[in-house]
Amino acid sequence: MKKYRLFGVISAVCITLSILYSFVGSSQIPTSRVLLSTNPALERILPFEAGTEKPQSPVTLTLQAVDAAGKPLENAKINLQILTPPPNPWLTTDFPIVEGTKLLQMNAAAPDGKLEIQQILPIRGNYQLRVNVSPLVANAFAPYQQTLNLNVRENPVKYKYFAVVAAILLSLGLVGGWVIGGQEKLQEGEIAPQSVRLLLSALTVVAIVTLLVINISAEVAEAHGSEHSNSTEAIAPSSQKSQGLEISIEGDKNATVGKLANLALQVKDTATGQPIRDVALQVKAIALEDNLTVFAYKGVSDEQGKLTWLEQFFDGAPHKVEVEATPNPGVNPQFPPVKVAQLVEVEAIAPPIYIRLIGLFYFTAIVGIGMAIGLLTQHRRTPPAREN
């Protein structure tokens, strides 16, 4: 019986090892995948900085679909979703409404298996790029999907600003604690010396002013888009015809920060009404306030003569979506470059009140730490009173 039991144990171990080995072996088999490259390099990418005069450019993201041998897949269709970093209630970014949302979603034909876009990344953190690759020709290859991560570091200037502000607040708290620690003798009817009462009154005024500044700045940001609602920016028409071709841009003319806006382009033959595929398209989304390109894409119209995408406008200001169509060699009819555009009004959303109070909490905590240090220092240097 012992021999049979030993034989059973050895058999079970062998079977288990065989199953584990098969899993390891299958995981090492090369599979189709998506390669991501950026320009500038990942370590040099910084989030969008509002209110700056220095030039800013979108990040170029290049997605290349390859097969198991590493060769580019031809005649592919790529669906891309860009998800912003998840929210962190204690370490908010410059655009808290954008956190944990979709920044972009688009379907694009990729004859050479490559999708290249330019996109401003509004906040720091880890972005997720969800990519689905499928064949334009049925059964050309098996569809697959992949999730890529893109980590954007915070602008180092923000740390310098925070260090300066923290040093000032800590110094104020230190002086306040020193004054309170060396408090005068109480007069009859007083609950605290006059110097202490003046100091506490000053700190209360500072806290009230800080809270007002935070709320007023939030309200100004919310009204940011409406200030420019009557934009006189000259843009191309939303639909044009040229030498037998009609190109038109459609979609939302009003958008909201934190939500995707639907946009679509249609190219068709004016005589037959049939869609025209493989027309070269250059798409740009431009923030009119700073004349900044926040999104750009070069591609072709699909088999239905369309290009569709969903885009979030993270800055609450008017944007212009502009598309220029040019004929590829062999595409009929041939036509001169045609440009269409659409104005999109964007509604800004003020952050919730608890997010506004986070900064006040940190500032108050730093002042409190300074006061505690001042009190402790004053207490240690003051000799205890001797009893008579």
Q: For the segment 114-159, what is each residue's pLDDT rounded down to a tens digit?
A: 999 999 999 999 999 999 999 988 888 899 999 999 999 998 888 8
What DSSP line would sit under 138-201, residue for residue?
TTSS--EEEEEEEEEPPPHHHHHHHHHHHHHHHHHHHHHHHHHHTPPPPPTT-SS-HHHHHHHH
Residue 367 is predicted with a pLDDT of: 82
Residue 88 is predicted with a pLDDT of: 85
- DSSP label at 47? -
Q: What is the pLDDT of residues 317-367, one digit of tens each?
A: 899 999 999 888 776 777 888 899 999 999 988 877 777 778 778 888 888
With 0-12 CB in 10 A as exposed, 13-18 as middle and 19+ as buried, what is 139?
exposed
Nearest C-alpha neighbor of 51 from the set 353, 297, 326, 289: 289
Q: Which tokens is 124 given? A: 């720091």
- pLDDT above 70 coverage of the chain, percent: 75
Mean pLDDT, rounded, of the chain: 80
Residue 238 is predicted with a pLDDT of: 82
Residue 313 is predicted with a pLDDT of: 94
Q: What is the pLDDT of residues 1-44, one digit of tens each?
A: 555 565 555 666 656 655 555 544 444 456 889 999 999 998 89
Task: Kindly tell me the number of DSSP H helices and DSSP E strands found in the chain.
Answer: 4, 16
Residue 12 is predicted with a pLDDT of: 62
Nearest C-alpha neighbor of 280 from the set 318, 316, 247: 247
Residue 282 is predicted with a pLDDT of: 94
Helix ranges, 194-351 (H): 194-222
In sequence order, what are the residues at sequence separation of 6 or more whose Cβ sits closer than 8 angstroms to the Cβ of residue 163? none
Q: What is the pLDDT of residues 369-386, one digit of tens each?
A: 887 888 788 777 766 555
Starting at the earlier edge strand, list the strands of the sheet with 102-110: 144-152, 125-135, 76-83, 102-110, 306-311, 261-269, 245-251, 239-242
**Is the dihedral angle over the CA atoms 62, 63, 64, 70 positive or is it negative?**
positive
Q: Which tokens is 303 given? A: 């088999």
Residue 82 is predicted with a pLDDT of: 97
| β-pairing verdict for 245-251 and 239-242 | antiparallel
Work out the average pLDDT over 294-313: 91
Nearest C-alpha neighbor of 63 from the set 54, 73, 55, 53: 73
Distance CA 128, CA 289 (A): 28
Distances (CA, A) of 228 to 49, 147, 345: 20, 38, 9
Q: What is the pLDDT of residues 177-222, one digit of tens each?
A: 777 666 555 555 555 555 566 666 666 666 666 656 655 555 555 5
Q: What is the pLDDT of residues 54-93, one digit of tens each?
A: 778 899 999 999 988 889 999 899 999 999 999 987 888 8
Residue 376 is predicted with a pLDDT of: 80
Structural contact between residues 35 and 63, judged by C-beta atoms closer than 8 angstroms: yes
| Residue 56 φ then ψ, to 5° | -125, 145
Instruction: Please give the radius of gyration of the chain, using alpha carbons only, rounded to the nearest integer.
Output: 31
In sequence order, what are the residues at sequence separation of 6 or more whose Cβ sits closer than 8 angstroms to the Cβ of residue 302? 77, 107, 108, 109, 277
